[in-house]
Chain A
Amino acid sequence: MKSPFRLAGRVLLYVVLIVAAVAILVPFCWMISASLKRNNEVLSIPVQWIPKDFRWKNFSDIWTQIPMGTYLRNTVFLSAVITFLQVLTGSFAAYGFAKLRFPGRDALFFAYVATIAVPWQAYMIPQYIMMQKAGLTNTFWSLILLQAFGAFGVFLMRQYYLTIPEELSEAARVDGLSEYGIWARIILPLSKPALASLGLLTFVNTWNDYMGPFIYLTSNDLWTIQLGLRSFVGQFDADYAMMMTGSVLSVLPILLIFLVGQRYFIQGIATSGMKG
């Protein structure tokens, strides 16, 4: 039998949780609700959470108001390429750091870890000068090069590889598999959860990145959705409904990815944050 105190405690816990969840989700509800209103209804007093009539037309109008299609295409392209390269080169290098022994390995790994701690702002100026001298500013190349070889991916994958028992690769060596073969046929298939974590985190980070494109991409036809959205705010200062429609469109793909891969986000953060 549960005591009435415990029952009351449970009810109280749920009340607290629901209040907290509502407080956290209110900005999203506001965003969705405003995206389905007429502009003059958005900031009405008192706040009207459910629109009088749902204005789905906002979602078709926005494509003609700003080059939403171009922005989305650019963002998808950049996020996909960067994620692919980051996962590929990161997992490959991580194998060298986790499973092979050779002189200089640990010093090299230390350089990787040390630069994770250096804030990007501290070296963004030299990076910018290099890109400028190479004539790569205002091209996708600058962002791809800057983000595809991050130290974070190497670190996260290495942490995971260290948990794979050494006996497995040892057995494969005895069977005559080369190190490349072991990476491709044994380690990679075993590290699917870590690959998924790294892939999702990188994809979402690139999708949401504002500072990189803000610094490097000046032509409108190269802009990502984040830049497009931001400039939209400047141009149509009072078009609140459209602003919210654009925000919903920029968040929606991330929400879908998150719903599918939630587990991997959590795992990736717990691994990279905790076992350092």
Chain B
Amino acid sequence: MADLLTATPATAVPSPPRRTRRRWRNTLIGWSFILPNFLGFAVLTLIPVIAALVLSFMDWDSYNAPEWVGLKNFQRLLDDESTKIALRNTAYYALGHVPLTVLAALGLALLLNRKIAGVGFFRAAAFFPYITSMVAVAIVWNMLFNPEVGPVNQFLHFIGIDDAPGWTTSTTWAMPAVILTSVWRDMGYYMILFLAGLQAIPTEHYEAAKMDGANNWQRFRNVTLPGLRPVTFLVLILLTVQSFKVFDLIVVMTDGGPGRATLVLSQQIYRQGIVEGEFGYASAISLVLFALVLVLTLTQFWFNNRRERS
């Protein structure tokens, strides 16, 4: 394998010591390329990932020395009402955010996957919310959702809904408001992934289906959806991971409130770890977050494999 690396005259058959030397040289060159990035990556990502694991079994606050306590942090987690609420809210958010974003993104991609005038503008418009900052998004949507004078409720009144919800000021409606905002923001990103997936489906498949007399719906059902399966799988995984990490939007839009109605896991980690300085306990919560993401991802892999086989 190493022979591919450096050019040697084709006639020269390297003797064993020279070959070892060249192997070394190749390894050195390889590492020299990776090192500048790897040093930063190892110290600031790889080590912290491992440290988080260890820390979750320790008692450590910013003042005292760390102490091994076994599963104590995890026990505490089971008794902690706000952590349980955060867990429930995170699941609620994911259950709303994932399916709605998939539907919206797929719908947009299907609409915009054709050669029509102005398609570039429409695609750009759908994507633009995604690169707008969370802070600006949250401030604007908070005003749009204003219960008395916000445009959303004015519109609802206009179409005849008189008892419009209080959105971010109501414990029942705060989470739906957050979910709606996040779907609006994220759908453009996933639309791009779906568009790439749609363009990868060979046109012959559609032509063949047309020859067989399949109507629009049948073509969508039997050509488009199966063709999109790999992208859909990827989108579902990315969205699930993203939902479980939600932080910025919540912090700026509701700060977990009203009460604890939108408190999520990442925010609980932040509060316990960085605000309260309970490093061990916060690490235990982050381990739970990571384990959940891992289990959900693996389950999706498993479903995907089974479906592909059948």
A positions within 8 Å CB-CB of B: 10, 13-14, 16-17, 20-21, 24-28, 30-31, 34, 42-47, 89-90, 92-93, 95-97, 100-105, 108, 111-112, 115, 117-130, 132, 145-146, 148-151, 153-154, 173-174, 176, 179, 183, 204, 207-208, 210-211, 214-215, 226, 229-230, 233, 240, 243-244, 247, 250-251, 254-255, 258, 262, 265-266, 269-270, 273-274, 276
Contacts and interface: CB of A to CB of B under 8 A. Distances in A.
A126 B52 contact: yes
Contacts of B137: 27
Interface string B149-172: 111001000000000000000000
A243 B143 CA distance: 10
A100 B251 contact: no
Given A31-B140, A247-B136, A250-B136, A101 B1 contact: yes
Given A215-B270, A262-B124, A210 B251 contact: yes
A251 B31 contact: no
Nearest to A114: B49
Output the residue of B62, B131, B279 with the most chain A CB within 10 A.
B131
20 contacts: A13-B111, A17-B111, A20-B111, A28-B140, A31-B140, A101-B2, A101-B30, A102-B29, A102-B31, A115-B41, A122-B286, A125-B274, A127-B48, A148-B40, A154-B37, A208-B133, A210-B248, A230-B135, A270-B192, A270-B193
A72 B62 CA distance: 33
Contacts, number: 267
Closest 10 CB pairs of A and B: A149-B40, A96-B33, A102-B30, A126-B48, A126-B51, A208-B133, A93-B37, A89-B37, A123-B48, A43-B149
Contacts of A243: 139, 143
Contact of A151 (B45, B122, B136, B195): B45
Contacts of B131: 204, 208, 254, 258, 265
A120 B273 CA distance: 14
A154 B2 CA distance: 22
A122 B133 contact: no
B114 to A, nearest CB: 8
Given A31-B136, A125-B269, A243-B139, A211 B248 contact: yes
Contacts of A226: 133-135
B95 interface: no
Contacts of A122: 49, 52, 286-287, 289-290
Given A21-B126, A123-B48, 13 more contacts: A24-B129, A26-B151, A28-B132, A30-B140, A43-B143, A123-B45, A126-B283, A149-B45, A229-B139, A243-B139, A244-B139, A247-B135, A262-B124
